[in-house]
Amino acid sequence: MKDKKLLNFWGNLLESIIIGAVIGAVVGIYQLAMQYAVKGSHYMYSSKNPWIIIGMILAVVAIAVFSHFVLKRNQGVRGSGVPYMEHAIHHDHHIDWQKELPLMFVNSIATGFTGMPLGSEGPSVVLGGKTAEMVEDVINAGEEDTVVMGFGTGFGCAVLSPLAGVCYIFEEALKKFNFKFFIRGIAMMVTAYLVTSLINHHSVFHVHELPVLPFDNYYVFLMLVVVNVILGCGFAKGLVLAKSLLEKHANKFWSKYFGFALFAVVLVLNFVCLDWMGSGAHIIEEITHFKDVWMLVALLAFRFIITIFAGTDRVTGGIVIPMLTLGAIGGQIVCLVCNQLLGLPAEYNQVIVIISMAIIFTVVNKTPVTSSVLFLTAVLYAVKHSVENISVAQFFVTFVDYLPMIAMTTVAVVVATIVSKLIVKDGLYHMLMHVDLEHIGITHPQKPDAEPVVEA
């Protein structure tokens, strides 16, 4: 009996490693392809050549038509696909990866090419889950639980943080700790990270210089909590309200063809204000160079509104980076106010922006552990690159200096989570899933041996 259990353990571990390797390859290639799509889009939108401009217009029209018919027939490709996947996981539905995996891959890249203000992290999460299901079906393993681990593994690959990916498995996908998944989840995540890091090297949480914020400036944590609770809760409520309105009137002409209107508006906006469009990753990278408070306020209002409309599931794309962009802009506004009124040295603006991003992530998703680990990821990356060829001893000595700031960030994240739950109880994906259930239902292919599922 013991030998059989041990054999099953090693078999499951090997299976997790294989799945992790495939997820790492799929997400890594997807992230790299998305980066090239965005670069190509930026080149065409900024070109003065009339033929290139005409070509871009025709490309957006073609993508809008293609996207409309894809989303009309495939619910799993709507928006980021995360609410659909969460429903499949918790209600043990079979996932139609044969259709949804390639369509999510292609349609989200095509949508990203149009300059839509959506990101690739949400689709990466879904690609991770669907890839896990694909490998399970191919090897006929019959372990549906690995889809949960694939879900979080996709997130870890997208942000290039294996620790954040493992936390996401339990905090967002499974929503509880399960020791059975722990070792297998680590094996899958580490393998996936090693593979995807060979392909993709970009993450918004990878910052080379991240100074330690002095204790005298810890007052900014309170300001960041207040700003991001307002921003995050307002964003979540606004997005859910907009999506509910569209789904409630789904049969009306303006709702049915809302996606076309969105593509048209995005096309015009990219020609008019290219630097304010896209997923927002480039805004995050350059945010500390913005010195005009009122321009930042205008940018924040613009991104807030356009992201809500784009995130209503009428096109394919994720809201993680756009939501983090709101946190980064809000954080820089706090920095500029403190720079001018309270004498905060500008050299600390970058670390405050990263903290702000971690806080808004937990306000929107209600994931304090994952959010804290995302900030830890930024610190570890910065420490690693603080000195060329840094030794292990130097690394730990330098890291110790960051511990008070890491601890205070964790406190701020927890406080923001508690306060935000008083305003918006559930995470955004959970709320979006219930909007779908209320208005249109979520249908999945049933497993051959499954009993029909009746929604309450």
Q: What is the pLDDT of residue 41?
A: 95
Q: Nearest CA to 437 among 103, 171, 91, 97?
A: 91
**Do 140 and 93 sit in the same domain of this protein?**
yes
Task: Please check whether residue 275 lies inside any domain of the structure.
Answer: yes
**Do 153 and 262 sit in the same domain of this protein?**
no
**Do 161 and 224 sit in the same domain of this protein?**
no
Confidence class of residue 439 from pLDDT cuts 50, 70 and 90? low
Task: Count up the domains in the chain and report the number.
Answer: 2
**pLDDT at residue 452 tops 60:** no
Decide if 243 contacts 430 (C-beta within 8 A).
no
Task: Please check whether residue 444 lies inside any domain of the structure.
Answer: no
Task: Please check whether residue 80 lies inside any domain of the structure.
Answer: yes
Decide if 358 contacts 314 (C-beta within 8 A).
no
What is the tens place of the pLDDT at every residue in 103-129? 999 999 999 999 999 999 889 999 998
What is the tens place of the pLDDT at every residue in 362-399? 999 999 999 999 999 999 998 888 777 788 888 888 89
Task: Please check whether residue 227 lies inside any domain of the structure.
Answer: yes
**Model pTM score:** 0.92
**pLDDT at residue 257 tops 50:** yes
C-alpha span between 184 and 187 (Å, rounded): 5
Decide if 121 contacts 318 (C-beta within 8 A).
yes
Q: Give the domain-ending residue among 199, 230, 257.
A: 199
Q: What is the pLDDT of residue 141?
A: 60
**Do 234 and 154 sit in the same domain of this protein?**
no
DSSP one-letter string for 326-388: HHHHHHHHHHHHHHHHS---GGGHHHHHHHHHHHHHHHHH--HHHHHHHHHHHHHHHHHTTST
**Do 187 and 256 sit in the same domain of this protein?**
no
Task: Please check whether residue 456 lies inside any domain of the structure.
Answer: no
Q: Give the domain-ending residue among 199, 230, 246.
A: 199
**Do 359 and 397 sit in the same domain of this protein?**
yes
84 three-class SS:
helix
More confident residue, 234 or 179: 234
Decide if 358 contacts 336 (C-beta within 8 A).
no
Q: Give the domain extent around 14.
A: 2-199
Confidence class of residue 79 from pLDDT cuts 50, 70 and 90? confident
**Do 289 and 176 sit in the same domain of this protein?**
no
**Do 190 and 306 sit in the same domain of this protein?**
no
**Do 190 and 253 sit in the same domain of this protein?**
no
C-alpha span between 62 and 42 (Å, rounded): 18
**Do 226 and 149 sit in the same domain of this protein?**
no
Task: Please check whether residue 446 lies inside any domain of the structure.
Answer: no
Tell me the sheet residues that pair with 316. Answer: 79
Report for 79-88, 195-204, 257-266: range of highest mean pLDDT: 257-266
C-alpha span between 150 and 156 (Å, rounded): 10
Q: Which residues contact 356 (CB under 8 A, 6 or more apart)?
A: 224, 227, 228, 327, 328, 330, 331, 332, 334
Q: What is the pLDDT of residue 74?
A: 84
Task: Please check whether residue 455 lies inside any domain of the structure.
Answer: no
Q: Output the furthest CA–CA distance in the chain (Å, rounded).
A: 73
Q: Tokens in use for 264?
A: 């048209």
**Do 224 and 194 sit in the same domain of this protein?**
no
C-alpha span between 360 and 303 (Å, rounded): 15
Q: What is the pLDDT of residue 50?
A: 94
Q: What is the CATH number of the domain that holds 13?
A: 1.10.3080.10
**Do 33 and 65 sit in the same domain of this protein?**
yes
Task: Please check whether residue 448 lies inside any domain of the structure.
Answer: no
Tell me the sheet residues that pair with 12. Answer: none
